[in-house]
Every structure is written in structure tokens, then in C-alpha cells.
Amino acid sequence: MKAKIAKAAGAAAKVIIISAVLVSFVFIGWRVWTKNAYTAREKAACRAMAVSAALCAADAVSYDEAAASFVKESKSVEYISDHRKMPENINVSIKISSDGSSFLIQSHAASGWNSRSPQSDSFSLRLDERGKIIFESDADAEAADLVAEALRDIGRGEKHKEHKFTFPNERPCPAPFSAKSAEAGGFDEKKVWIVFYDGKND
């Protein structure tokens, strides 16, 4: 009797091991098969976040007098948002520099620690003394147009998640500014997340 039980247990163990191996192969195959699409979406997500974050900062210094004055006094300020609260755990940083009249805005977005294909993107623009945005290239202008088009489709009155841009390392920031996030199309086959300044509509 004990021999039969041991034999059955051994057979069951073999079945379990073989099943686990087959499942592993299927999983690995699926990851390889979907890697290109996954990577493309990660790139699109970082691109959308970098572009929208720079535009968000441009709006912030245009409509938030405290933020604009603080940047002018400081000459250069780096802002970040809590990546744990950002959509898809994307890390976003924004550097705003000023010569007293115009602003140079540089943003950077990177996939979070849980990405299996980490990607990043950077974007920059200049906001001149008249409040006009100047892009470095036609491609940058087209990317900004995608964000603007997406914003027209987003209901500003809806309850979007709010994110606060403040100093790195949780240092006290005299002039933080807030952004909201929403899903947007145009950057990838699937929707990706963008952030936008909504203070001018408060």
C-alpha cells in the first residue's frame, strides 16, 4: 500500500514539475512575443508624460504668480512629483530656469522600478517674455499639439487625480504647483497618461 502511495506521489510530482516547466516556457514566450509592443508603449508613456509635464510647468509659471516669482528669484528650480502617486509609477522631474523675463523648461520622465523594459524621455521648451512657447523642433511642436488635442477632449470639471510638484528629497518648497492627470490618446495605440495644470480654471 505504501509503495503504491509513494509511486502515485512520485507520478504526481513529475506531472507538477512538467506542468511548471511548460507554464514557464509559455510565460517566457509570451514576454518575448509582446516585448516590442510593451517597449513601444513604455516609450510612448514616457514621451507623453515628458511633453505634458513641460507644458504643465509652462502654464504654472504663466498663471501662478508665486511660482513664477520664485523661479525668477532663484534663477533655476527643480521640481518633482511623488512617483508613488504618478500614473504607472512614472518618475517625473521638471527644471525651470529664468533669466528674469523668459523661462527655459526641461522635463524628464522615466519608467518606474516595476517596468520590464525601462524607458525615458526628455522634453524642453522656452516661454518668452510675451508668454509665447517656443519649441526646439517641428517634432516637439507636433508632440505638444497632441497634448493640446487630448486636453480638449478631457473634461476639466471631472475629478482627476491631483499631483503636487515640489522640491526633491521632501525639502520644504515655498512655491509648489499642482497638476492633474488623465488618460489621453494620440501617442500610442492604447491611451497613455498625461499631466496638466488646471489652476487657471479654478
- Identify the pLDDT of residue 34: 46
Q: Whole-angstrom Cα distance, residue 8 to residue 159?
A: 59
Q: Whole-angstrom Cα distance, residue 5 to residue 135?
A: 75
- Identify the pLDDT of residue 114: 73
Q: How far is CA 90 from CA 69, 79, 145, 192, 195, in A?
A: 28, 14, 22, 11, 11
Beta bridge partners of 79: 94
- Identify the pLDDT of residue 25: 43
* Full strand arrangement of the beta sheet holding 192-196: 161-165, 177-184, 192-196
- Identify the pLDDT of residue 28: 43
- Identify the pLDDT of residue 187: 82
Q: Whole-angstrom Cα distance, residue 66 to residue 174?
A: 9
Q: Whole-angstrom Cα distance, residue 34 to residue 50?
A: 24
* Model confidence, pTM: 0.81
- Identify the pLDDT of residue 202: 43
Q: 161: closest CA among 86, 103, 60?
A: 86
Please answer whether residues 173 and 67 qualify as being in contact, where contact means their C-beta atoms are separated by less than 8 angstroms. Answer: no
Q: Whole-angstrom Cα distance, residue 60 to residue 199?
A: 8
Cβ neighbours around 20 below 10 Å, total? 10
Please answer whether residues 142 and 123 qualify as being in contact, where contact means their C-beta atoms are separated by less than 8 angstroms. Answer: no
pLDDT in tens, the chain (202 residues): 555 555 555 566 565 666 555 545 443 443 443 457 788 889 999 999 999 999 999 999 999 999 999 999 999 999 999 888 888 889 999 999 999 889 999 999 998 777 778 899 999 999 999 999 999 999 999 999 999 988 888 765 556 888 999 998 888 999 999 999 998 888 888 889 999 997 764 4
| Start-to-end C-alpha separation, the chain | 78
